[in-house]
Amino acid sequence: MEPWVIATGLIFAYLLVTIVLGIVANRRLAVDLEDFLLYGRRAGFIVLYLTVVATYHSAFAFLGSGGFFYTHGIGFWDAGTWTVLVGAITYVLGSRIWALGKAFDYITPADMLADFYESEAVRVLVAIVSVVFTILYIQVQAQGLGYIINVASDGRISFELGTLILLVVAAAYLMAGGLRAVYWTDVVQGVWMYIAVWVGALVVAFKVFGGPIELWTAVREQRPDLLSLPGPEGFFTPGMWFGLMVVLSFGIVFQPHMMIRYYTAASAKTIKWLGATTPIFLMTLFIPAALVGLGGAVALPDLDIPDRVFPELLFRYAPAWLTGVILAGATAAAMSTLDSILHSNMTVLTRDVYQRYIAKEASTRHYILVGRLIIGALLVVGYVLSVRTFEFLVVLVALSGAGALQLMPGIVGICFPTRFLFTRSGIIAGIAVGLVTLYLTLVVAPHPLGLHGGVWSVLANFVAVGGVSAFTKPPSVATVARIHGTVERFVYGETS
Amino acid sequence: MDEHVRQQYPRYRNHFLPRTRAGAVATVLFMLVFACAQPPIVFLVANRIEPLVFGLPFLYMYLLALYVALIAILIWAQRRGV
């Protein structure tokens, strides 16, 4: 049997598994909006763990990280700092977000911010930031999927058709089973992608170099420039090291598909264990990625597109069946992020826009139906964005990684009670100033003084929030007592 | 905000400062170890290939050791109920 038949067949077998899981999840679905949108707030440790790590790691972790090691060398091991920080943020901040969500029935990030800052304008602004800066991830993941299936089929399935097939499958199981389907498929996807990356990297290391240690020796002897900072192209400067750590930890955690996961935990213990242990998965996935990228730089030094280093190595050195299994793992990595973003955007649009401003008193069945229709619309938007090139998107994609960072002051102001209170005007001004600064420091004059533009934007945001809050009306005493009181009791107990 | 209005708001002890010994130990340790994985320390102290550690470059193993330590601190904090 030809290698492309095996590789493509295994990807379709994997897709079949996800569809079956979606159907089973549909049978367990109650006619309950919390069940459809939030898994009934009863996700246990293992399911939550695997959905968080599978969602965090996308097609980029599978393809892009190898490409980064290939081009910029060991500096990408900085990834360990931001993945460990994601765990610490989940531990400290995620548990507080969970407590507030449980106490006040929050479903979206905008629910929490609008409640504390007593502002519908804050709700709308947060919903816009949540959707605009993550819908672009649909494009990125869908393009990754199209590329993977195109490579696996040796060009027999076009990029456009591959993208469409995988988008339709993800949307179908999401429509069928809601967040339960996403979580169940993420469990399979998380395990599959982790095993696939490790097995693929080790196979390459042993086949090409004789083992991982020999691989490192070959890199040291032939490409020592890849083993020190700032790397061959001078990318990993101190400012970029620090900036990527901030943007890819806080910037990812504050995206709606990650924040919604905090609301779904079954207990505080679940989410604290999640924070303490997620870095084990997140960080160790970059160990095989380093083997792939650095080994690829020695074995295949002239690749035009460094992101293709992993599939190129597999097709040359791994058996066809294993290449198929591993490429299905790459598909899993992309789909687990894609379905989560589709779900979070659907949740934000259903909850923060439709339920709030269009049909306030409709039935639960009605909202679930609307949610499913929104998924269909997002599928169309995602497909069009994936197969066509829009000039303005190039700018938006550049901004997207740090977009959710602009929610940071508002969330910190809620989750960490202090005497100085941020106000609704301050939060709105901060987000506006932060987004303008982001545009200036990422697009107009990228990374001033070598510091990542995302860091400049969040600094400007905090200054604007603080400055405007000092002169404007804070949230009411009752709201502050209710919400900050809940945080105080959750963290320190009734007696503190 | 006027002072008499400010007085009406509930007051809580600072949430950025740990209130228990275990919390303080976990916070200080985490921040110290994390600082070792950030500029300028990582660029000044660890930016070199040799000495090799188990045949691997020093920078790689230095960071791996720090990451493992940070995860251990988080797990210790959870087990101590911080």
User: For position A496, what pLDDT does the model report?
Assistant: 45
Residue pLDDT, tens place only, B5-61: 778 888 888 888 888 999 999 999 999 999 999 999 999 999 999 999 999 999 999
Q: What is the mean pLDDT of residues A412-434?
A: 95
Give A280's contacts in chain B (Cβ within 8 Å): 71
User: For position A399, what pLDDT does the model report?
Assistant: 67
DSSP string, chain B: --HHHHTTS-----TTS--SHHHHHHHHHHHHHHHHTSTTHHHHHS----S-BTTB-HHHHHHHHHHHHHHHHHHHHHHTT-
Banded pLDDT at B81 (limits 50, 70, 90): confident
Give B49's contacts in chain A (Cβ within 8 Å): 220, 224, 227-228
A284 → chain B, closest CA residue: B64
- Lowest mean pLDDT, pick from A140-144, A176-180, A369-373, A427-431: A140-144
A420 → chain B, closest CA residue: B6
Question: Which segment, A19-28, A117-126, A170-179, is predicted with the most confidence on average?
Answer: A117-126
Q: Is the pLDDT of residue A495 over 60?
A: no
Q: What is the mean pLDDT of residues A82-101?
A: 96
Q: Does A417 contact B48 at a Cβ distance shorter than 8 Å?
A: no
Q: What is the mean pLDDT of residues A321-344?
A: 85
- Lowest mean pLDDT, pick from A326-330, A345-349, B35-39: A326-330
Q: Does B30 contact A481 at a Cβ distance shorter than 8 Å?
A: no
Of A275, A416, A480, the CB nearest to B74: A275
User: For position A397, what pLDDT does the model report?
Assistant: 58
Residue pLDDT, tens place only, A449-492: 989 999 999 999 999 999 999 999 999 999 999 999 999 999 98
- Lowest mean pLDDT, pick from A46-60, A122-136, A304-318, B2-16: B2-16
Question: Which segment, A35-39, A125-129, A301-305, A336-340, is predicted with the most confidence on average?
Answer: A125-129
CATH top-level class of A3-391: mainly alpha
Q: Does A81 contact B75 at a Cβ distance shorter than 8 Å?
A: no
Q: Is the pLDDT of residue A401 over 90?
A: no
Rg of chain B in Å (alpha carbons): 20
Interface contacts A/B by beta carbons within 8 Å: 117
User: For position B51, what pLDDT does the model report?
Assistant: 93
Of A80, A242, A487, the CB nearest to B67: A80
User: pLDDT: is A386 or A257 the higher one?
Assistant: A257
Please write down the HEC assignment for all residues of chain A.
Answer: CCHHHHHHHHHHHHHHHHHHHHHHHHHHCCCCHHHHHHHHHCECHHHHHHHHHHHHCCHHHHHHHHHHHHHHHHHHHHHHHHHHHHHHHHHHHHHHHHHHHHHHCCCCHHHHHHHHHCCHHHHHHHHHHHHHHHHHHHHHHHHHHHHHHHHHCCCCCCHHHHHHHHHHHHHHHHHHHHHHHHHHHHHHHHHHHHHHHHHHHHHHHHHHHCCHHHHHHHHHHHCHHHHCCCCCCCCCCHHHHHHHHHHCCHHHHCCHHHHHHHHCECCHHHHHHHHHHHHHHHHHCHHHHHHHHHHHHHHCCCCCCHHHHHHHHHHHHCCHHHHHHHHHHHHHHHHHHHHHHHHHHHHHHHHHHHHHHHCCCCCHHHHHHHHHHHHHHHHHHHHHHHHCCCHHHHHHHHHHHHHHHHHHHHHHHHHCCCCCCCCHHHHHHHHHHHHHHHHHHHHHCCCHHHCCHHHHHHHHHHHHHHHHHCCCCCCCHHHHHHHHHHHHHHHHCCCC
Please tell me the distance from the alpha carbon of residue A3 to that of residue A427, in angstroms, as a whole number: 55
Q: Is the pLDDT of residue A132 over 90?
A: no
User: For position A286, what pLDDT does the model report?
Assistant: 94
Give B28's contacts in chain A (Cβ within 8 Å): none
Q: Give me the residue spans of the domains in chain A.
A: 3-391
Residue pLDDT, tens place only, A61-77: 777 889 899 999 999 99
- The rounded percent of chain A whose pLDDT value lies above 90 is 56
B6 → chain A, closest CA residue: A419
User: For position A94, what pLDDT does the model report?
Assistant: 95
The residues of B whose Cβ lies within 8 A of any Cβ of A are 1, 6, 8-16, 19, 30, 34, 37-40, 42-43, 47-49, 54-57, 59-60, 63-64, 66-67, 70-71, 74-75, 77-78
